[in-house]
Structure 1
């Protein structure tokens, strides 16, 4: 075996024995040669299977309030700062959201996430969302997750009482790169909401977007910060450049870069649901199976906030084809 192979296996064995790898070791892992990438992915898959089992977490979401967001996140076509030409709407009627939750359940999806494009909910918005969650609980009976932007402790406690399982609030990008992506709020603002979510006992869903111009080492920086939060779920999005946004001409990441990032994130977060999310259909196409056998163990199905996605039936077939369960 080569020294790189020996090193990858030694790190894998340490993780499987319940220990963590150091920042220096993580740096070495994410910088292994392309010749060792298959070994790295296989090691990440072994960690996933032994510590998380063969189950793939399949989630659907609804863009419950779309566009006209007052934040200037450079990747987002829903920002009011950019002329992207997307359709916009206020909070959808409860019946529409409940119907979508029912369709997701009928498709075999285990969880349903309510997402709203705003900085954070007003008191009135939050009351409406709370009422919708109660309606979904009563009429559908599917696991409900939320992504409502910045929330305070009182709101987080209310969501927990309503039976919300998991709250999503991504760090989006590394601290060292954040100001190039957003100026209307800070990295610490996002971190504060995540710590509030953990404080009240909600499960945390926190990830980011790769391929926005950050370096490989900055992607590792993000992974290290995420690992420090110990999220139950970590969605890894791949930037799909949107017309009218500052990143519309951003060069796409290579498949190998995506694979090494996800693999190393698995070493850093061995028991977390690593979910390949936005952009997987665009970037990975026929390589989605490689990612689910290279450290990832979750997907979002049926589409995202402003772009479409795979049909749930196609995703379930893909999962079954590679010998995993959903």
Structure 2
């Protein structure tokens, strides 16, 4: 048995990776990549078998954001030529859920740009969620920015199962990416989500100039936060944003990152998210050996892989789409 299978066995027995072990994953040679993924798959298979969860995003409010996040085409610092519009109405959000349901997505993600939702925006989302739950019995995830405690309670009451608020990067690297909110603003929102009874979802963006130590800190911070779902994004450098000239990552490094997140957060949903097409490229299918979840279709302002190609990729790799009925009870 190689060292990565040994490490996987130790993780399944309750071992938490040391910083040295975590860095050894990211620094491993490409010759070891398949062995590393085999170790990650041992953990993934233990908790999730060969099932893949499908998620689909709707961008309900685009642009017009006062935050200065350097990666984002919707921020106040961005000159990216994106479509900008205010919050969709309830019927438009529900129609998006119908499409997501028809394409086999088990979780529908309602996303809006901005620092946080206004009361009117929150009412629109809450009304849409109530109708979506009644019609499609789908899991619903909301991502609306920084929440106040009473807003979190309102979303929970409406039927939102999960709330996403990414830490995006490490605490040490945060000020290099955005200055209009703090790292603590983000972690406090995750805490409010947990207090409300919604499932916390929080992830990262890899490839924004962080160090490997930062990547390890991100994975370990999410373990401490006890995020149930961890989206791992890889920077898609968008023209017109401060990070537009950032070079794509290598596919092998992206796979090592996914393996690291599986080793550090063994029982959690690890989702390959934005930027997988431009960073993992032809090695996208191998990511499923570490991750157990992907986004279908387009992201917020960038295009994703064709939905039919995603379904084909899953099938040809020997994985099976997890249906909404197979997932844990909604709004439990």
**TM (normalized to structure 1)?**
0.95
Matches within 5 A, 1:113-262: 113-262=109-258
Question: Following the alignment from structure 1 to structure 2, what is the Cα–Cα distance between the partners of residues 161 and 311?
Answer: 34
What's the offset of the Cα at 1:102? 0.2
8 A Cα contact 1:145 1:165, kept in partner:
yes
Match in the other structure for 1:90 = 86
Are 1:319 and 2:314 counterparts? yes
What's the offset of the Cα at 1:32? 2.1
8 A Cα contact 1:121 1:149, kept in partner:
yes
8 A Cα contact 2:168 2:204, kept in partner:
yes
Q: Deviations over 1:174-224 (max 9, x none)?
A: 111111100000101101001111122211111010011111221111111
What's the offset of the Cα at 1:38? 1.9
Match in the other structure for 2:21 = 25
SS of aligned partner of 1:176:
coil
* Unmatched runs of 5 consecutive residues or more in structure 1: none
SS of aligned partner of 2:108:
strand
8 A Cα contact 1:220 1:261, kept in partner:
no
SS of aligned partner of 2:128:
helix
Question: Following the alignment from structure 1 to structure 2, what is the Cα–Cα distance between the partners of residues 12 and 70?
Answer: 43
* Unmatched runs of 5 consecutive residues or more in structure 2: 322-332
**TM (normalized to structure 2)?**
0.93
Are 1:105 and 2:90 counterparts? no
After superposition, the CA RMSD in angstroms is 1.4
Question: Following the alignment from structure 1 to structure 2, what is the Cα–Cα distance between the partners of residues 60 and 33?
Answer: 34
What's the offset of the Cα at 1:144? 1.0
Q: Deviations over 1:81-109 (max 9, x none)?
A: 32212110001122221111101101111
- Number of aligned residue pairs: give it: 321
Are 1:307 and 2:302 counterparts? yes
Question: Following the alignment from structure 1 to structure 2, what is the Cα–Cα distance between the partners of residues 202 and 160?
Answer: 6
Question: Following the alignment from structure 1 to structure 2, what is the Cα–Cα distance between the partners of residues 46 and 256?
Answer: 19
Q: Deviations over 1:32-75 (max 9, x none)?
A: 22222221111001110112221111000100000010100000
